Chain A
Amino acid sequence: MSIPTQTKASPPSRTITAVLKEYAGLLIPIGVVLFIIAWPTITGKDISREAMFTVLLSIALASSLNILLGYSGYVSFGHVVFFGLGGYVGFYLMSVHEWLLWPAMAAGGVSSGLLAFLLGKAILRLRGGYFALATIGINEAIRAAINNFTPFGGPVGMTLNFQVYKNYGGASEALWLSFYTLAAMTLIVITVSYFVRTSKFGLGLLAIREDEDAAEIMGVIAPNAKTWAYVLSAIIPGVLGVLFFFKNGSIEPLPAFRLHFSIEMIVMVMLGGQGTVLGPIIGGLGYQSLRGFLLTSPIFKNIQLAVAGALLLLIILFIPSGIVGWLRKRVPALRRVLR
């Protein structure tokens, strides 16, 4: 253990490098996201703000899912349920009870977290494919329930009165506000993801992912750890659901609980590298760039989802650890820098 004494004796500039090195796993992802956030200002175009909104939303959702999927190895196929439910709860509070955006977002996050907690107790004892199936079932069940729930508008959903945006300085300002709120949430989720990954709690999750029985024998209280991972991964999607539908101005059951959105999240996590902090960011950016290209290309525009499916298949077959995981494996020097 000679390293600490060395840093003590060295000039302050080296201490800074040491800190930079230690937190590189956090600083690199934050840097990438800050660049994405700054892009609309750099280009000065509203259209790039909208494109980057989609990218940031993807990154934040993929990073949330990664806490469960990447760290503990449980595949939540119906993760969009938290986005939809949180969105509905927050939207209801904003449109019917005239709550402001931020408390509504908090309420959305809390309700999604609570749902995950209850579900965790019930279905996290299922392993592998059975858990994945159960999450799909729950998404469909909640969508069907909300379809028939009159306070939430049933199948028609709800709309926000346009006047609401006046509270935020007008519709155009509300769009920028949404963008920067999303940016802040993305930075938060990445920081949370990093600290989970490098914490003792995270080590327990990784142990569960590798071999749950062996982890339990070593004293990891798997049922609790899994439940908290599930709750953590559900809160941000709930918060973002409120923000997304606030910006959208209306909410309906079908777009709120769209299953293929869940699958896209999984593709993004797998593409970038499950179980890493940077992976979902690269995955979100990469997938949305690809999708942008496919949607505007005359050949692929109608089959872009099929391409996403094919992409998932190829990733699982050839680079199951994703781009970041592959880099970490190939270049051992990067293991200390890329988390």
Chain B
Amino acid sequence: MILQVEGLGKRFGGLQALEDVTFDLPEGQILGLIGPNGAGKTTLFNNISGVYTPTAGRVIFRGEDITGLKSYYVARKGMARTHQIVRPLKELSVLENVMVGACFGQYDYKLGKAKEIAHEVLEFVGLESRIDQLAGSLNVGQKKRLEMARSLASQPNLLLLDEVLAGLNPSEISYMVEIVKRIRAERGITIIMIEHVMHAVMNVSDRMVVLDYGRQLAEGTPDEVSQNPKVIEAYLGDPKLAEKLMASGGE
């Protein structure tokens, strides 16, 4: 198990944002994390990656308890993430943005080596022609790919992807889905992805966790989840919808 989340809870004053979330993630899997808006998906990411300190439960990463560890130490243990709302380092070049990821990730690379890695990763995500451009001048789709490149440059063991498909057009979505698949296939990186583009996440994930109002509604394979009556009721609404989505994703 690369990641074990045990009874994780997070309370903000009177609001219970997460309650008793428990799941295991074996190495090499892609876990889809879905749920309606406000279900606590990003909050879960923030608690796993050290942005927030959980108020209950434990996070065990590669056999080590990292509950409440600061985000920069979590990053150095081999966990990387992207942001739902992109956060480029605007006044730095695309190359420099990605070098930051390589320099301060778990391998602590020197600038020269970081530059090599950055070139390789930028080619992987298809941004090699934008290397000298300032990050702030990229469009949304390119910024999403930049986020991806930055997190990959740290050569993580676990990658948390927060809605990398949101705001992309259909051709960009299929390009990005391909990248996600290749990350696992070619680099063996374990992935958790939060996603609203249902056919894509169902198509890519090995397993899924469904959150609703901070509670874990269901867990299982995409098939199991999409047929779970609780999930259908709370999230998908129309029982037939799930089949339609699976069909369109399987092409």
Contact between B92 and A210 (Cβ–Cβ < 8 Å)? yes
Q: In the docked arrangement, what's the CA distance between A222 and B100, Å? A: 13
Contact between A218 and B150 (Cβ–Cβ < 8 Å)? yes
Report the contact-size class of chain B (Cβ under 8 Å from the partner): 20 to 34
Q: Does A119 touch B at the CB level, under 8 Å?
A: no
Contact between A216 and B111 (Cβ–Cβ < 8 Å)? no
Q: Given that A200-B103, A203-B111 are contacting pairs, would A211 and B87 also be in contact in the complex, using a CB cutoff of 8 Å? A: yes
Q: Does B51 touch A at the CB level, under 8 Å?
A: yes
Q: In the docked arrangement, what's the CA distance between A219 and B74, Å? A: 8
Contact between B51 and A217 (Cβ–Cβ < 8 Å)? yes
User: Quick one: which of A213, A218, A221 contacts B105, CB cutoff 8 A?
Assistant: A218
Q: In the docked arrangement, what's the CA distance between A218 and B89, Å? A: 12
Q: Does A220 touch B at the CB level, under 8 Å?
A: yes
Contact between A214 and B72 (Cβ–Cβ < 8 Å)? no
Q: Does B40 touch A at the CB level, under 8 Å?
A: no
Give the residues in chain B near A220, CB-CB below 8 Å.
Answer: 72, 100, 104
Contact between A207 and B49 (Cβ–Cβ < 8 Å)? no
Q: Does B214 touch A at the CB level, under 8 Å?
A: no
User: Quick one: which of A204, A210, A219 contacts B91, CB cutoff 8 A?
Assistant: A210
Nearest B residue (CB) for A217: B71
Nearest A residue (CB) for B70: A216
Q: Does B76 touch A at the CB level, under 8 Å?
A: yes
Q: Does A337 touch B at the CB level, under 8 Å?
A: no
Shortest CB-to-CB span from B37 to chain A, Å, is: 22
Contact between A206 and B81 (Cβ–Cβ < 8 Å)? no
Q: Does B154 touch A at the CB level, under 8 Å?
A: yes
Number of A interface residues in the complex (CB < 8 A):
21
Q: Given that A217-B81, A218-B154 are contacting pairs, would A203 and B71 also be in contact in the complex, using a CB cutoff of 8 Å? A: no
Shortest CB-to-CB span from A162 to chain B, Å, is: 51
Q: 1/0 per position for A214-236, CB-CB distance to B under 8 A? A: 11111111100000000000000
Contact between B87 and A213 (Cβ–Cβ < 8 Å)? yes
Q: Does B62 touch A at the CB level, under 8 Å?
A: no
Give the residues in chain A near B81, CB-CB below 8 Å.
Answer: 217
User: Quick one: which of B72, B87, B99, B151 contacts A221, CB cutoff 8 A?
Assistant: B72
Q: Does A302 touch B at the CB level, under 8 Å?
A: no
CB neighbors of A among B95-111 (8 A): 96, 99-101, 103-106, 110-111
Q: In the docked arrangement, what's the CA distance between A206 and B93, Å? A: 11
Give the residues in chain A near B100, CB-CB below 8 Å.
Answer: 203-204, 207, 215, 218, 220
User: Quick one: which of A200, A204, A209, A219 contacts B75, CB cutoff 8 A?
Assistant: A219
Give the residues in chain B near A289, CB-CB below 8 Å.
Answer: none
Q: In the docked arrangement, what's the CA distance between A56 and B106, Å? A: 42
User: Quick one: which of B76, B87, B88 contacts A219, CB cutoff 8 A?
Assistant: B76
Taking A215-B100, A217-B83 as known contacts, 4 extra A-B pairs with beta carbons closer than 8 A to each other, sorted by chain A number, are A203-B111, A206-B91, A218-B100, A220-B104
Top 6 A-B pairs, shortest CB-CB distance: A219-B75, A219-B104, A210-B89, A214-B87, A207-B100, A221-B72
